[in-house]
Amino acid sequence: MMRIAVIGATGVVGRECLALLGDAAFPVDRVVPVASPRSAGRDLAAEFGLSRALDPVTTLDRLDPGEVDVAILCAGAELSRQAAERLAGAGVLVVDNSSAFRGRPDVPLVVPQVNGQVLRQRPPSGLVANPNCSTIQLVRALHPLHALAGLDRVVLATYQAASGGGVRGLAELAEASAAFLADPGRPPEEPGRFGQPLAFNLIPEIGPADVSGFSHEERKLVAESRRILGLPLLPLTATAVRVPVFHCHSEAVHVTLREPVTAAAVEDVLAAAPGLRVHRRGGGPGYPMPRTACVRPEDRALVHVGRVRVDPDDPRAVWLWIVADNLWVGAALNAVQAVGLAVGYGWLGGTSAAA
């Protein structure tokens, strides 16, 4: 039976991890929520209405590594850099949701539906990195297209929700939106979590830009996608945009393949991929939207793809519209599924190896 610590348990991703562990596909004996000292002792199962019992909240300095098998880190890169290797050195498998270790070659960067084989053996570092939330939904759609006709080039724009900025980002958008509606003539609020005011606005840059003008978020999308897909030279470029949507990231993706395809063939190969839902024309709008695509739990676990179009002037060029819940698909669910892979491969938790 598994003993799992969730570090950053009161944040938006940590809360989702706690909920998902209640229905995990592998046996979980104990869940230890870890948060800041001001949250110590809280009963998060009762507060969040969870289906399973949790330990009372403890703090990182009081967490005994000998009492847990896995730590899922959901508290940001700075804390991960402080704590992850110490926990891994004590024998804990660390699954980190931050950007702290994604570039290290000795740390697997895992999307179970795409490159889960990298966890056939326990990583010597004891660390597993969760990719960026936008990367995860992107590669899950690109992977079957590469198998169908080979990826030649990818150009995309992301439309990223406020929940990517955590509890503070959600509160900031809600408060600023209400204030604007109450007084549309008021001056814009001071830049906060997102660098610029987000309410009724678009911010076409996420994170600091380098000398070429590309932002940190855009560079992560490129480097991580290439690594996960095993295509280190794949031409891929992106514009990352923060939008005034509370939940779910969206992406407009233009893919050039090596061979001609039809829209029907693309839809069929996507529909056959695990965890993807294709929204076809007929009987509905033919595309997913953040407000409606991720309402039910079964929908939150999926990558939704619609508006599949083959360019009439280039039968190798395909447009996709991709929507996914950035807190589940893009973070908590991917982390829990990575733990499940380790269990299935037999080196964590004592179960038999996966086929």
What are residue 247's phi and psi, to 5 degrees? Answer: -135, 150
pLDDT of residue 1: 74
DSSP state of 38: G
Burial 240-264 (b: 16+ CB within 10 A, else e): bbbbbbebbbbbbbebbbeeebeee
Among left, alpha and beta (phi > 0; psi -120 to 50; other), residue 166 is left
Report the half-sphere exposure of 352 (CA within 13 A, side-chain side): 1
pLDDT higher than 80, residue 352: no
Describe the crossing of helices 133-149 and 216-229 by its angle, rounded to 10 degrees. 40
pLDDT tens-digit series, residues 261-301: 999 999 999 999 999 999 998 867 889 999 998 889 999 99
pLDDT higher than 50, residue 351: no
**Taking Cα atoms as reference points, which of 270, 281, 248, 250 lies closest to residue 318?**
270
Beta carbons within 10 angstroms of residue 230's beta carbon: 12
| Identity of residue 94 | V
What mean pLDDT is predicted for residues 74-96?
Answer: 95
pLDDT tens-digit series, residues 30-75: 999 999 999 999 999 999 998 888 999 999 999 999 999 999 999 9
pLDDT higher than 80, residue 238: yes
pLDDT of residue 350: 58
pLDDT of residue 174: 96
User: Which residues are catalytically annotated?
Assistant: 133, 249
The CATH superfamily of 134-161+202-324 is Dihydrodipicolinate Reductase; domain 2 (3.30.360.10)
- Per the model's pLDDT, the better-predicted residue between 156 and 52 turns out to be 156
pLDDT interval class at 224 (50, 70, 90): very high
pLDDT higher than 60, residue 244: yes
- Per the model's pLDDT, the better-predicted residue between 187 and 126 turns out to be 126
**Long-range contact set of residues 263-272: C-beta below 8 Å, sequence gap at least 24:** 263/308, 263/309, 263/310, 263/318, 265/148, 266/145, 266/148, 266/308, 266/310, 266/318, 266/320, 267/308, 269/144, 269/145, 269/147, 269/148, 270/141, 270/144, 270/145, 270/305, 270/308, 272/144
pLDDT higher than 60, residue 7: yes
Q: Are 203 and 106 in contact (CB under 8 A)?
A: no
pLDDT tens-digit series, residues 285-295: 889 999 998 88
- Tell me the average pLDDT of the chain: 94
pLDDT higher than 80, residue 189: no
Q: What are the boundaries of each domain within the chain?
A: 2-130+331-344, 134-161+202-324
**Taking Cα atoms as reference points, which of 202, 131, 210, 189 lies closest to residue 162?**
202
Q: Which residue has the tokens 């610029």?
A: 196
What mean pLDDT is predicted for residues 142-159?
Answer: 98
What mean pLDDT is predicted for residues 247-266?
Answer: 98
What mean pLDDT is predicted for residues 160-173?
Answer: 95
**CATH no. of 2-130+331-344:** 3.40.50.720
Percent of residues, the chain, with pLDDT higher than 90 = 89
pLDDT of residue 354: 40
pLDDT tens-digit series, residues 304-344: 999 999 999 999 999 999 999 999 999 999 999 999 999 99
How far is 30 from 341, CA to CA, in rounded Å? 19
| Identity of residue 354 | A
pLDDT higher than 60, residue 234: yes
What mean pLDDT is predicted for residues 249-257?
Answer: 98
Q: Is 265 helix (H, G, I), strand (E, B) or coil?
A: helix
Percent of residues, the chain, with pLDDT higher than 70 = 98
Q: Which residue has the tokens 């001071």?
A: 190
How far is 29 from 2, CA to CA, in rounded Å? 5
